[in-house]
């Protein structure tokens, strides 16, 4: 297992999931008490959140925050499945800085949350010598695996389709563009779009590949210490 690049804060705990009752809130049982837990994952987390499921939570770093815990992972058969959607964006930068992102070799800097048009993409790699074209990257968190295929998305995603269109437009202008899918579980052997969940996204994904959008699907390595970046997954040959 690769060494963590993102470390969980001190004081993380295992708890038991009760229910998800708001978009950003779940209830859990911790030491016999019901506690509210913040989740930044707006997806369905399909197949993960079931009553009685063990989860991994971290203490809020802001003492004034109403919800004192954050949902980091679901524990299934003692495997950590990461559901914190802020992780891929952080990992993109940390893997680049650690020399663990071969696709970005030759670039000198990364700008996070780079503005393009009326929106922002997660990363912009720049070669200060101007020998390489700008490299725009959008990050996605992957928690769904079906028949050994790690799949995105796990719910209909208008925002995801919009990002694909923006990447395709940038590719047409001569920039280099990529999707960084960070698969926060270890039971997928390849990656593919979830056409059963969002067929429009899947169709647009393949069109994006045809015009030069790159697909970087990497598997996370997760322990109770933190998260590292592992093997790159091939694209599923199942279209």
pLDDT, tens digit only, all 239 positions of the chain: 689 999 999 999 999 999 998 889 999 999 999 999 999 998 889 889 999 999 999 999 888 889 999 999 999 888 999 999 999 999 999 999 999 999 999 999 999 988 887 778 999 999 999 899 999 999 999 999 999 999 999 999 998 999 999 999 999 999 999 999 999 999 999 999 999 999 999 999 999 999 999 999 999 999 999 999 999 999 997 55
Specify the pLDDT at position 1.
67
Strands 25-30 and 33-38: antiparallel
Give the CATH fold of the 87-232 domain: Trna Endonuclease; Chain: A, domain 1 (3.40.1350)
Specify the pLDDT at position 239.
52
Of 80, 103, 84, nearest in space to 92 by CA: 103
Q: CA 106, CA 109: separation in Å to the nearest integer?
A: 10
Q: What is the Cα Rg of the chain in Å? A: 18
Specify the pLDDT at position 21.
87
Specify the pLDDT at position 116.
80
Give the CATH fold of the 6-82 domain: OB fold (Dihydrolipoamide Acetyltransferase, E2P) (2.40.50)
Specify the pLDDT at position 62.
86
Task: Provide φ and ψ at 169, rounded to 5°.
Answer: -65, -40
Specify the pLDDT at position 23.
84
* CA 58 to each of CA 36, 62, 71, 130, 146: distance values in angstroms, whole numbers, following the listed order: 12, 12, 7, 42, 28
Helix axes 199-210, 158-172, angle to 10 degrees: 10
Strands 54-59 and 13-22: antiparallel
* 3-class DSSP assignment, residue 96: helix
Q: CA 157, CA 135: separation in Å to the nearest integer?
A: 24
User: Which regions of the chain carry the CATH code 2.40.50.580?
Assistant: 6-82
- Extended beta strands in 77-213, E state: 79-82, 109-116, 119-126, 135-142, 144-146, 149-152, 176-183, 190-193
Please tell me the pTM assigned to this model.
Answer: 0.94
Specify the pLDDT at position 238.
56
User: Which regions of the chain carry the CATH code 3.40.1350.60?
Assistant: 87-232
């Amino acid at each position: 297992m690769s060494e963590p690049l993102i470390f969980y804060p001190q004081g993380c705990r295992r708890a038991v999931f009760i229910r998800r009752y708001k978009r950003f809130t779940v209830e859990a049982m911790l030491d016999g008490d019901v506690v509210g837990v913040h989740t930044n994952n707006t997806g369905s987390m399909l197949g993960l959140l079931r009553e009685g499921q063990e989860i991994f939570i971290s203490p809020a770093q802001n003492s004034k925050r109403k919800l004192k815990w954050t949902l980091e992972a679901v524990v299934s058969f003692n495997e950590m499945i990461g559901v914190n959607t802020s992780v891929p964006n952080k990992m993109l930068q940390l893997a680049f800085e650690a020399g663990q992102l071969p696709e970005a070799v030759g670039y000198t800097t990364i700008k996070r949350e780079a503005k393009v048009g009326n929106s922002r993409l997660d990363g912009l790699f720049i070669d200060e010598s101007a020998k390489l074209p700008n490299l725009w990257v959008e990050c996605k968190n992957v928690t769904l695996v079906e028949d050994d295929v790690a799949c995105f998305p796990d719910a209909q995603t208008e925002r995801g389709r919009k990002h694909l269109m923006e990447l395709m437009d940038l590719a047409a202008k001569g920039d280099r563009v990529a999707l960084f899918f960070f698969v926060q579980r270890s039971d997928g052997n390849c990656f593919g779009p979830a056409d059963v969940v969002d067929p429009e996204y899947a169709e647009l994904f393949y069109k994006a590949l045809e015009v030069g959008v790159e697909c970087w699907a990497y598997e996370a390595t997760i322990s109770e210490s933190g998260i590292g970046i592992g093997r790159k997954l091939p694209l599923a040959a199942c279209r």
